[in-house]
Structure 1
Amino acid sequence: MEELEENDFLEELNYGTQELPDVTQRLGSLEEVKREPGLEHFERLIVHLDMDAYYAQVEMKYHNIDITKPVAVLQWNSIIALNYVAKNSGVKRSMTCYEALEVRSDMIFVHVATISDKQILGSDAPKTYGGGRGPPVKEAIPEQVKEPEIMEVDYFDYDSYSKQKEIPLPCAVVVDAHHDDEDFVIEDYQTFIPSSICKVSVLSSNKNLPPMKRFRVETREKEIQKFSHALYRNQSKKIFEILRRYGGIVEKASCDEAFIDLTECINKRYEELVRTKADSIFGEVLENWKEAYMFGHKEQGEGLFKPENLWDQKLFLANELAYQMRQDIKKELGYNASCGIGYNKTLAKIASAQNKPNAQTVVPIRYLQIGLQPIKINSVRFCGGKLGELLTRNGVDTMGKIQQMTVQMLNQMGLSESSADWLKNLSHGVCHESVKERNLPTTANAVKNFKKVHTLEQLENMITLVCYDIITKIKEYQEEFMIFPQTFSIGFFDVMDRNAFKSRRAKMVSPQDFNKDTRSIITIVREAIRAHAPQILPGASALSVSVMNFKPLSHYEVKTKALNTFFKAADYQEYAKLQEKERLQFLERQKQMDAQKLLIMQKRDEYPVGFKRSQPVGASSDQGAMKQMVRKEQQSKQVNGGIMQFFKKSFETADK
């Protein structure tokens, strides 16, 4: 459709108000509620729980950083996560640390944990990559993650000379040019700082460091390290353990986000309350509504919000349960979370984002339509991308505008019949997508980008880094889900095919071999890379390793048991019987062979002496039969020999 100004387009559509059934008034008995048209879509109770600035919260807890400080999590020089203090100051993700410092000069930066190939291989190289946490190789293993320590933020300046100096810091650092009259003499420590760098920052528990003027930026050596998110996955596991206590269906959307279907839980609880408290179910706990915002209502809570129908009552119970979830996470782990409570996944997710951080929002039917009207199309699940661009290009950028459109109008914009129906229903809060348990991972990946290398020796370090990351994930999956991959693949850019991305699959080692020596994966990945070296080198700049086709560990145990059963030691009596049977069969076949030979000789003796014949009568068929018997005899001896050898080995194994 031709692009129009927004007002012109809306006028052309000739909007008409299309209202859903009026449910804002008090309804009577339960039977009347059930007969009310249009409410069959609001029988489920879904919670969307989203952790607030999750990565930043984990790092702040780990380092015991004051919650009033602006904190950013770095991955190399880019910000990947921010707490809300930093966000409210105008700092944004994807900024570099230096850009963030221009916005707010007192920013605190914490780098994600990294692992070093030298540490993995047990080198004596300085272990300075933990950011005050200790060796990153330990950080990458969940069971070895340390509890949070009381850390102090320290900072000092020094003016360097033309020579290079070393500083006594347990982490890597980066600074900007700074000159000061005061000079610190530092020696006999591991971490190396070039002479051009003058200002140093560190997050450290070392109280012997000089006072710092202000906190700056910590960095890592990108070319010889790989980041690890094991700490975040470890904390995520604990969060989901809390969510599953409540008995609902928990769908893991990401490490810090979940959908929980509480429908059955709330229905059972409602029936129990009806039996025990009758009409006074909500009389004593109405104040709990104040803990939540009402979607479509500007203020937090509504004072004494009295549920007016069955849906309001159950929504009240779901709101209370969601509040308990958030309190448990805060009490046990120290993290804040926000959540939305609605009648489907879309409403719950929209609601959870409305009043962040550390808040929850419920979606009562009475405010549903008015609450959806200002919601931007691009912020709704599955409405971004090309669909969002199409709608925005035609002047439709909010759910309220779609509410007033017909399906035919949406068709004219280029949407299919099914897409138009789906979008129209969504604008009125109708979504049929169910919450599904998706807790078993299907793949695990590890990727490393680096400067171009040209030899296998140079690529070895990268192979080790990537493999160590994937080894850590496989161990986590074994412990948490009791699964193991059947296949692995390597990914690379093919230098022989214009650097097109290629992947090659191979069979994974067995769980038994993996548990005996986890570095067996490094071996098979090296072999795979050597096999495709002409495609990878020279000029390799990235490498990925993936594992897939996960099977339960019991699947491998059954296979092992079957093989052990097949190769068990034979019984001596059975062996003797089989040996005697084979001997008798051999004698019988020998008799038949002798009889056949005798018959052939007798036929030859019937011809007169001196009588010549190129092909005596019966000679061809008799000779063919004789050759066939000889072949059968040879085959029989081979089979019998194999069987005898098998039993002989079995006896030797049994004797041992």
Structure 2
Amino acid sequence: MSAPEPAAVRGSAQAPDGPPGSPGGAAAADDRNPSDATDRDRAATAADTPDTPARSRPTTADSERHLPQPADGYSQFSFRQIAALTKYSVNTPLRVIAHIDLDAFYAQCESNRLGLPPETPLACQQWDGLIAINYAARAYGITRHERVPEAKRKCPELVLAHVATWREGDEVWQYRPDPDIRTDKVSLDPYRRTSRAIFAVLHDECERVQYAGLDEAYLDLSRLVHARLETRPELAPYFAGTADPDDPLPRPATAVEWSGVVEPADEDAPLDWADVCVALGAEIVAGIRARIRRDLRCTSSAGIAPNRVLAKLCSARHKPNDQTVLRLAAVERFLRSVRFSKIGGLGGKLGEDVAARLDVPEEGSIPHLLEQSLPRLTAQLGDETARWLYDVVRGRDLSEVVERPAEKSMLSAKSFRPAITTPEQATRWLRIFVADIIGRLPELRAGADRRPTKLTLAYRTATAGRSKIAAVPTVRPEALAETLNGVAAGVLRTLLAEDAVLPCIHMSLAVGGLEDAGRNAAIGDFFVPRKRAAEPDPAELCDECGRPVPEAEKAEHADWHFARTLQRQLADDGPRPAPRPPRPPPSPGRRKPKLEKGQRRLFG
């Protein structure tokens, strides 16, 4: 039993005239998001309460499912949907998700370190390339990964700030006047420290925060919004328990103030509780961003929307230093203006495959995809990918904002140009790797008492590669660096005796099996407890295949690609098997975090 789509709203924040008392007699609104299309047969088999666990992906059908049309003066939403905000339910259409993204984060960190105003053009330099550009420099047409001479031609007054580096004998990274790719290793620790301070603010302001990179995070604001709704007089009977929570609510009786740029809807519509919720969320985010700017001198942009996918798209809409608010009634119009490759998971090989199979045009890509029926998508992409794509281009997303699990490993690595050729060089680099890891161990996300139980040394030459694992004994904190150096040196000697390790073009050292030290006082004294979780280094996704690769297996995985490429080059030309349907990106709960900006080049 479906009903017409709720009317769209434009930008008005004025509440309509309507009865201030509690409603009665009208049909109860469904407690699921009106943008989440599920056929009625499937809906009948699922629990309708807001605390029902959500499936990893919504199921859909060609026949859309909508909320009932409310009577005049009443809302299309019920108090049960408001109550679901306290449980962070993904099924309530009133949920509010924010995505906060720091503006040109690395460049901001360097501008602050150097005491420069944001109007000064600045770029973060790594060797002879650029890995981050502030907005003042972008105005000159300078882009990331541009070479220094070319950038200087475009903007002679450009300030170049080379990233910090490690060098043999260092106990801490340093900013150097003479960084050298042959002797130094890049350090991201200055940016990690600022990132940890930013995440401390986020965790202090919101209890549900998901790390999405050093410079971005998702926040589920639903419970905070619910707390602010308690002050609304129209809802007093419901909070007091004297009104039926399944009856349609009265429409909001007072206006709301928008914080940020509000995306327009197609048609005028009365103010409703979804608008009130997202406006309250925008107010909260504006306060968080103001605190980050005041305390840490960093500007940020944000998107506030009903789900993660939409919030991420909105945060990039009006950069820098602004926020975009997406009302439920504006979702369809907003998405029609977005290129489909901007949706998370569709910017890489999956997006290319979808575009090729469905003849997706550059302009009007989402309207084109909206015209595709679910059966056609299934025939081209397979059932799982088709259903995911069908939903996501309609703005439907049931993914939760979740904390990342405690990390199990930590890596330090270096690509050598030119290759190292002596055991002494390899030993010196291992000591640098150990110093890097030791400096970061106390600041692991889990906060306290973490210890490595194994060590993996991996190397790669021009033609081969290998890794070897060794156990790390439990020692007192002050002996940990010496112990790791000793274990790494022993593994290196074994590899040198067994393999042709040199000349070496890439080497990495990883510590793994990080576990709680429990009551072990010897190791427990080493780790400094943190009030807030420090954010870990992102794991890497393979540039070739996009698969997550454990840190200790990067060398082997790269060699596998090398062998596959060589095999293809040697193979005779001939008919190839039909490609398999593409798979959708992993669900957010299992997704590997994105690479830090510039990280693909940070092993150089």
TM-score of the two chains, using structure 2 as the length reference = 0.67
> Aligned residue for 2:285?
322
User: 1:443: how far off?
Assistant: 2.2
> Aligned residue for 1:181?
none
Distance in 2 between residues matched to 1:530 and 1:280, nearest whole Å: 74
> Aligned residue for 1:22?
6
> Aligned residue for 2:513?
549
Is the partner of 2:317 in helix, strand or coil? coil
User: 1:520: how far off?
Assistant: 2.1
User: 1:222: how far off?
Assistant: 1.4
Asked whether the equivalents of residues 449 and 523 of structure 2 are also in contact (C-alpha less than 8 Å), the reply is no
Q: 2:260 aligns with which of 292, 314, 328?
A: 292
Asked whether the equivalents of residues 49 and 352 of structure 1 are also in contact (C-alpha less than 8 Å), the reply is yes
**Structure-to-structure mapping, 1:269-280, within 5 angstroms:** 269-274=228-233
> Aligned residue for 2:433?
466
User: 1:269: how far off?
Assistant: 2.4
Is the partner of 1:475 in helix, strand or coil? helix
Q: 1:401 aligns with which of 340, 349, 368?
A: 368
User: 1:58: how far off?
Assistant: 0.5
User: 1:282: how far off?
Assistant: 8.1
User: 1:231: how far off?
Assistant: 0.9
Does 2:442 align with 1:475?
yes
CA deviations 1:203-238 (Å, max 9, x no partner) are xxxxxxxxxxxxxxxxx1111111111111111111
Q: 1:51 aligns with which of 79, 95, 102?
A: 102
User: 1:271: how far off?
Assistant: 2.4
> Aligned residue for 1:127?
none
User: Taking structure 1 as reference, are residues 113 and 405 closer, same or farther at Cα in structure 2, changes over 3 Å only?
Assistant: same
Does 2:75 align with 1:112?
no
Q: 1:71 aligns with which of 122, 132, 143?
A: 122
Asked whether the equivalents of residues 340 and 348 of structure 1 are also in contact (C-alpha less than 8 Å), the reply is yes
User: 1:536: how far off?
Assistant: 4.9
Asked whether the equivalents of residues 410 and 420 of structure 1 are also in contact (C-alpha less than 8 Å), the reply is yes
> Aligned residue for 1:508?
472
Distance in 2 between residues matched to 1:59 and 1:432, nearest whole Å: 38
User: Taking structure 1 as reference, are residues 281 and 548 closer, same or farther at Cα in structure 2, changes over 3 Å only?
Assistant: farther
Q: 2:29 aligns with which of 29, 34, 50?
A: 34
The higher radius of gyration belongs to 1
Q: Which amino acid aligns with 1:501?
A: G
Is the partner of 2:447 in helix, strand or coil? helix
Higher mean displacement: 472-481 or 252-261: 472-481
Q: 2:215 aligns with which of 256, 260, 277?
A: 256
Distance in 1 between residues matched to 2:449 and 2:66, nearest whole Å: 45
User: Taking structure 1 as reference, are residues 90 and 559 closer, same or farther at Cα in structure 2, changes over 3 Å only?
Assistant: closer
Q: Which amino acid aligns with 2:217?
A: A
**Which residues of structure 2 form unaligned runs of 5+?**
10-14, 35-64, 68-90, 238-249, 525-604
Q: Which amino acid aligns with 2:514?
A: F
Does 2:150 align with 1:99?
yes
Higher RCO by CA contacts (8 Å cutoff, separation 6 or greater):
2
Distance in 1 between residues matched to 2:522 and 2:174, nearest whole Å: 35
CA deviations 1:615-646 (Å, max 9, x no partner) are xxxxxxxxxxxxxxxxxxxxxxxxxxxxxxxx
User: Taking structure 1 as reference, are residues 277 and 331 closer, same or farther at Cα in structure 2, changes over 3 Å only?
Assistant: farther
Distance in 2 between residues matched to 1:558 and 1:521, nearest whole Å: 16
In percent, how many aligned pairs have the same letter?
24
> Aligned residue for 1:231?
190
Does 2:455 align with 1:455?
no
Q: Which amino acid aligns with 2:261?
A: Y
User: Taking structure 1 as reference, are residues 377 and 416 closer, same or farther at Cα in structure 2, changes over 3 Å only?
Assistant: same
Q: Which amino acid aligns with 2:284?
A: L
User: 1:431: how far off?
Assistant: 0.6
Is the partner of 1:378 in helix, strand or coil? helix
Is the partner of 1:430 in helix, strand or coil? coil
Asked whether the equivalents of residues 445 and 546 of structure 1 are also in contact (C-alpha less than 8 Å), the reply is yes
Distance in 1 between residues matched to 2:405 and 2:214, nearest whole Å: 11
Higher mean displacement: 421-430 or 466-475: 466-475
> Aligned residue for 1:531?
494
Asked whether the equivalents of residues 70 and 86 of structure 1 are also in contact (C-alpha less than 8 Å), the reply is yes
> Aligned residue for 2:455?
488
Distance in 1 between residues matched to 2:515 and 2:223, nearest whole Å: 31
Q: Which amino acid aligns with 1:537?
A: V
Is the partner of 2:118 in helix, strand or coil? coil
User: Taking structure 1 as reference, are residues 528 and 20 closer, same or farther at Cα in structure 2, changes over 3 Å only?
Assistant: farther
Q: Which amino acid aligns with 2:410?
A: A
User: 1:297: how far off?
Assistant: 6.7
Q: 2:463 aligns with which of 496, 499, 506?
A: 499
Distance in 1 between residues matched to 2:304 and 2:456, nearest whole Å: 41
**Which residues of structure 1 form unaligned runs of 5+?**
1-18, 121-136, 141-169, 173-219, 561-656
Asked whether the equivalents of residues 375 and 400 of structure 1 are also in contact (C-alpha less than 8 Å), the reply is no
> Aligned residue for 2:315?
352
Q: 1:446 aligns with which of 389, 412, 422?
A: 412
Q: Which amino acid aligns with 1:67?
A: P
Distance in 2 between residues matched to 1:537 and 1:462, nearest whole Å: 14
Distance in 2 between residues matched to 1:554 and 1:262, nearest whole Å: 34
Distance in 2 between residues matched to 1:265 and 1:469, nearest whole Å: 39
User: Taking structure 1 as reference, are residues 306 and 521 closer, same or farther at Cα in structure 2, changes over 3 Å only?
Assistant: farther
CA deviations 1:27-85 (Å, max 9, x no partner) are 98876672475365623211111100000000100110121111000111111101011
**Structure-to-structure mapping, 1:592-603, within 5 angstroms:** none
Asked whether the equivalents of residues 517 and 523 of structure 2 are also in contact (C-alpha less than 8 Å), the reply is no
> Aligned residue for 1:522?
485
> Aligned residue for 2:177?
171
Does 2:423 align with 1:423?
no
**Structure-to-structure mapping, 1:553-568, within 5 angstroms:** 553-554=517-518, 556=520
> Aligned residue for 2:591?
none
> Aligned residue for 2:539?
none
User: Taking structure 1 as reference, are residues 379 and 84 closer, same or farther at Cα in structure 2, changes over 3 Å only?
Assistant: same
User: 1:240: how far off?
Assistant: 0.6
Does 2:340 align with 1:377?
yes
Is the partner of 1:43 in helix, strand or coil? coil
Q: 1:338 aligns with which of 273, 278, 301?
A: 301
Asked whether the equivalents of residues 252 and 273 of structure 2 are also in contact (C-alpha less than 8 Å), the reply is no
Distance in 1 between residues matched to 2:345 and 2:303, nearest whole Å: 18
Is the partner of 2:511 in helix, strand or coil? strand
User: Taking structure 1 as reference, are residues 437 and 331 closer, same or farther at Cα in structure 2, changes over 3 Å only?
Assistant: same
Count of residue pairs the alignment pairs up = 437
Asked whether the equivalents of residues 173 and 187 of structure 2 are also in contact (C-alpha less than 8 Å), the reply is no
Asked whether the equivalents of residues 492 and 543 of structure 1 are also in contact (C-alpha less than 8 Å), the reply is yes
> Aligned residue for 2:78?
none
What RMSD in Å do the two structures reach over aligned CA positions?
A: 3.1
User: 1:425: how far off?
Assistant: 1.0
User: 1:508: how far off?
Assistant: 2.1
CA deviations 1:552-574 (Å, max 9, x no partner) are 232645999xxxxxxxxxxxxxx
Higher mean displacement: 536-545 or 29-38: 29-38
Distance in 2 between residues matched to 1:47 and 1:276, nearest whole Å: 24
Is the partner of 1:504 in helix, strand or coil? strand
Is the partner of 2:359 in helix, strand or coil? coil
Asked whether the equivalents of residues 296 and 368 of structure 1 are also in contact (C-alpha less than 8 Å), the reply is no
User: Taking structure 1 as reference, are residues 360 and 307 closer, same or farther at Cα in structure 2, changes over 3 Å only?
Assistant: farther
